[in-house]
Amino acid sequence: MNRSDSTGPARAGLALGAALASVVLCATASAAAPGTASGTTGPATAVRTGAERGCPVVYFDLGETLVHTAADGSTGYQPGAASYLRALRAGHITVGLITNVPSSWGTTDAARAARLKKEVDATWRGAVPFAWQDFGGRILTPRTEAERKPAAALWQRAKANEGRCRLVYQAETAEEVGVAASLGFVPYQVGRPHRPTFLPVGLIERLGHRSR
């Protein structure tokens, strides 16, 4: 093995790490810029305060991001999702869901979340149950059909709830990730080739440590 063979993978790994860090930190800086997303200073001020306090909160889409629905209708974790949630839990990183369900499933987020859990659990075939307990009351769903993603309403509600923290959004679709980014979230499209399946936990932790 020559020198170039041995250093190539290391250099590639360093380059990937630097690129991912750049994506995260640049997105965070953009989120903190005055007037971002709303054209006013209010939300930006909240994000800057969150930058000082840290406390990153990671929101996910559910279907085909954390959970896969098979052709037979059964559901289970996406590859790597269970271990990723365990890593976030071990790092004491707060998580939430922003997911579309029929608005007729209930008049409150809690009621719609209860119906969502029932529907997913009824078809679950994984050996390990879905970690609903990790998300607590942070399961945001449409109150009306007009609030369904990619409408901005659910991300805006998350910002209102977590305005003093840096927010991350991870999903499998570029459209949803783009909307979240436009509203000041640190965006990450999961499952892309040649990149980690999910945003590395270490980079999320850096969001909490990096101050303005």
Pairing mode, strands 67-69 and 75-77: antiparallel
> pTM of the prediction?
0.78
Phi, psi of 198 (to 5 degrees): -120, 160
> Are the beta carbons of 186 and 36 closer than 8 angstroms?
no
Residue 60 pairs with which residues in a beta bridge? Answer: 97, 170
- Axis-axis angle for helices 201-209, 81-90 (nearest 10): 30
- Report the b/e string of 111-137 with b at 16+ CB within 10 A: ebbebbeeebeeebeeeeebbeebbee
CATH of region 3-209, choose from 3.40.50.1000, 3.30.260.10, 3.40.50.280, 3.40.190.290: 3.40.50.1000
Residue 77 to residue 96: CA distance in whole angstroms: 16
- Where along the chain do its domains lie? 3-209
Q: What is the pLDDT of residue 210?
A: 53
Q: Max alpha carbon distance in the chain (Å)? A: 65
Two tokens, residue 211: 């101050």
Tokens 């999903």 found at: 171
Question: pLDDT by residue for the chain (212 residues), tens digit each?
Answer: 544 444 444 444 444 444 455 555 444 344 333 333 333 333 333 333 333 346 899 999 999 999 999 999 999 999 999 999 999 999 999 999 999 999 999 999 999 999 999 999 999 998 899 999 999 999 999 999 999 999 999 999 999 999 789 999 999 999 999 999 999 999 999 999 999 999 999 999 998 775 33
